[in-house]
Chain A
C-alpha cells in the first residue's frame, strides 16, 4: 500500500516541484483512472494490469489538457496567486466529480475478477495479497523509470532547467508551456498507473479520489514539497504507519495515525523529511 501511496504522491510532487502548484484535483485524476480501467475491463475485457499503460496514456492527455485549459491561466494571476491555484483546481475537482456522477452514476463498482484476483502469495512466511504485490512492483518500476527519465533524458533536463529558471530556458528555445504541459501529463500518468492497479482491489465511485487525495497531500508534505524522492519515501512511511495504526486502533481510525505522524514530522522539520530547509 505504501508504495502505491508513493506512486500517487510522486505525480503530485512532480507537478509541485516543477511549478509550485498543488493540484487539488489529484484525487479526481485517480478516480478517473480507476473508471477508465473499469470500463476497459467491462467493455473490452482488458485486464487492469494490462490496461495500466493505456490508462496512464489517457491520464497523460488529461493532465496536459488540464494544464493547458486551466492551470496555465491560474499561473498568470498576479494577486492572490496561491488562492487562485487552490480554488481553480478545487473547482475542477468538483466538476470532475460531478461529471463522474452524471455519466457513471454514484453507484459503487468493482472489477469482479482479474488475473491478479484475490490470490495471496506467501513470501518468507508473510502472506501478501497478489494485487498489492504487483502494485508494489509496478510502483518501484515506475519510480525507477521516472528517475531515469528526469536524470538521463533531454526532456528530463528540460524539466529540471525549467524548474530552476523558467525565464532563462525561454532564451535557449524551450517552450515553457510545453514543458509544463508535459510535466502535468507525466504527473497524471503516474496517478493513472496507480489508479489502474488500485481498480483491482478498491470500489470505484465518484468520490473515491477524495479519500486518497488527502493522504497524497500528506505524503508529499511529509516527504517535503519539491522532492520527488521524498514523496516516494513519504509514501512508504505512510503505508507503514497505516499498517501499524490498524493494529492498535479500530479500522475507522487508521488514518489518524497518518495525520498524527505528519503533524509530528512537520513540527520537528517544518519542511518535511527531504524538503530543502
Chain B
C-alpha cells in the first residue's frame, strides 16, 4: 500500500526542512564567491519556478509572460528607492501587491482564452510591458536604472562586503514559495486547481469557483515572482527593461518546473538544482568563446529531457518508488 496522503505530506515537510537547514549551512563549506553566486541564482530560480508552477503547473494556465511580474517587482522597488528613497523592503511588498493586482486585472479577459490563445496572450502582454518600459523616459527607458549604493545593511537590503545575506534571502524566498505551494496543494484551492487543469469542461460547470481559483493562483504566483524580481534588482544593483522583463525570463522561470516535473511540489526545486548550475557552468566553461556552444548544449538538453521524460525528472523517483511498492 501507498503511504497515506497525510504521512506523505508530513514527510515532504520534514525533507524540505532538512534540505533548507543543510542549504543554510552550505556557506560554511562554500567560500568561493563564484560558487556562492551560482547557489544564489539556483535558489532564486527555484523560487520563481515554484511560483510560476502555482498558476501554470497546478492550475494548468500556461503563462509565458511571467517576466512582466518579475519586471514589475524589480521596477517598483527601484523606482521607489531611487526616486523617493523608499526602503527596498517596502518596495518589494508594493511590487508584489501591484503585480498581484495586475495579474488579477489581466485575469478577467485572459482566463476566457484557451490553450495557445492564452499562452500567446501572456507572451504578448509581457512584450507590451517591455516595450513600454523601454520607452518610458522617467524610468530610465532602455538605459535602465543603476541602483545607488546607500550602505551595507539589512535595513537597506544592500550588501557590499559579502554575498551571504543575498544567499539567505534567496533561501528564505525559495522556502516560502515551497511552503506556500505545499500548503495550497492540500487546501480547497489546490483541489479546484487540479479540477480546472484536468477537466476544464466539468470544472466550468462550477463557474465562479473556477474563475476565482484561477484568479487566486494568478495573484499568489505574480506576488511571489515580483518579490523575486525585487530581490534580483537589489542583487545586481542594475536593471534595464530587457534584463528584467525580457522573454528569456519567462522561459527561465518555466524551465526548471518543466524539467523537474510540472505541477509537482518538488519539480521546480529539482529542476532548478540541475538546470541553473548547468547553465552557469556551460556558460563559463564553453560559452566564453561567444560562439554559442553553450546554447547548443543547453538547448539540446532541453529537447532531450522534454522528449525522454515528459513528466519531468520527478517521475524518475516516483517510478522507482512504485516498483519498490509492488515488490
Which chain A residues have a beta carbon within 8 Å of chain B's beta carbons?
Answer: 16, 22, 70, 73-74, 77-84, 86-88, 90-102, 105-106, 206, 210, 214, 217-218, 221, 225, 250, 252-253, 255-256, 259-260, 262-263, 266-267, 270-272
Q: Which residues of A contact B298 (CB under 8 A)?
A: 94, 98
How many Å lie between the Cα of A258 and that of B142 in the bound state? 21
Q: Are B299 and A95 in contact (CB under 8 A)?
A: yes
Interchain CB contact under 8 A, B62 and A267: no
A272, B117: Cβ atoms closer than 8 Å? yes
| B36 contacts partner chain A, Cβ-Cβ < 8 Å | no
Contact yes or no, A79 B311, CB < 8 A: yes
Contact A95 B295 (CB under 8 A): yes
**Contacts of B289-325 to chain A: CB distance below 8 A:** 290-304, 306-307, 310-312
Within the complex, which residue of B116, B291, B307 is in contact with A221, where a contact is CB–CB below 8 Å?
Answer: B116
Is there contact, CB below 8 Å, between A87 and B255? Answer: yes
Kindly report which residue of chain B lies nearest to residue A252, judged by CB atoms.
B135
Residue pair A74, B291 in contact (C-beta under 8 Å): no
Within 8 A of A (CB), among B85-115: 109, 112-115
Q: Contacting A74 at CB < 8 Å: which of B114, B296, B301, B306?
A: B306
Q: Please classify the interface of chain B as helix (H, G, I), strand (E, B), loop, or mixed, using the class held by over half of its residues.
A: helix
The interface residues of chain B lying within 8 Å CB-to-CB of A86 are 62, 119
| Chain B residues packing against A (C-beta within 8 Å) | 62, 109, 112-117, 119-121, 123-125, 127-128, 131-132, 134-135, 247, 251, 254-255, 258, 262, 290-304, 306-307, 310-312
Q: Could you say which residues of chain B place their CB within 8 Å of the CB of A266?
A: 113, 117, 121
Which residues of A lie under 8 Å from residue B290 when comparing CB positions?
101, 106
Asked if A225 and B117 sit within 8 Å, CB to CB, the answer is yes
Instruction: Give bound CA distance, A99 to B294, whole Å.
Output: 10
With A214-B127, A266-B113 given, is the CB distance from A95 to B303 under 8 Å? yes
Contacts of B258 in A (CB 8 A): 83, 87
B113 vs chain A, min Cβ distance (A): 5
| A interface majority secondary structure | helix
| Complex CA–CA separation, A174 to B132 (angstroms) | 50
**B124 partner, pick from A93, A259, A271, beta carbons under 8 A:** A259
Asked if B302 and A91 make an inter-chain contact with CB atoms under 8 angstroms apart, the answer reads yes
Residues from chain A with a CB closer than 8 A to the CB of B132 are 253, 256
- Set of chain A residues within 8 Å of B119, measured between Cβ atoms: 86
Q: How far is the CB of A159 from chain B (nearest CB, A)?
A: 20
Interface centre among B62, B135, B302, B306 (most CB of A within 10 A): B306
Q: A82-B62, A82-B115 are in contact. Are A91 and B292 (CB under 8 A)?
A: no
Interfacial chain A residues near B125, Cβ < 8 Å: 259, 263
- The chain A residue with its CB closest to the CB of B294 is A98
Q: Which residues of B contact A210 (CB under 8 A)?
A: 247
Q: Can you report 5 residue pairs joining A to B where beta carbons are below 8 Å apart?
A: A91-B303, A98-B295, A102-B296, A105-B291, A106-B290
Cα A159 to Cα B109 with chains together (Å): 35
Q: A98 touching B292 by the CB < 8 A rule?
A: yes
CB neighbours (8 Å) of B62 from chain A are 82-83, 86
* Chain B nearest CB, measured from A35 CB (Å): 14
Contact B306 A83 (CB under 8 A): yes
